[in-house]
Amino acid sequence: MVSDKVVITNPTGIHARPASNLLNFAKKFKCTVTLKAGDKTANCASIISLLALGAKTGTEIEVICDGEEEAVALPEIVNFIKELKD
């Protein structure tokens, strides 16, 4: 398991479209991807889970990757979240 933190910079946070884009990007890796913001966690394989996270602009989230491709997935997903657009 590996993890890193990133701050949401998308002006509208992680709402439906960015959540869908993140889900599709994360599922190409052979590992479980989880986001954690405060006391809430979200599985990146579930759009409902991502939306329930309530991540807004400026929210610091921890990206946790666990599985076969965790070392490759983590930096790519963190970078994807940094560049997330509507």
The strand pairing partners of 66, in sequence order, are 32
Instruction: Let me know if 15 is a catalytic residue.
Output: yes
Expressed as residue numbers, the domain containing 60 is: 2-82
State how many domains the chain has.
1
Name the pTM for this structure.
0.94
pLDDT tens for residues 14-72? Answer: 999 999 999 999 999 999 999 999 999 999 999 999 999 999 999 999 999 999 999 99
CATH number of the domain that residue 72 is part of: 3.30.1340.10
Q: What is the DSSP string of 7-65?
A: E--STT-S-HHHHHHHHHHHTTSSSEEEEEETTEEEETT-HHHHHHT---TT-EEEEEE
The one catalytic residue among 15, 37, 56, 80: 15
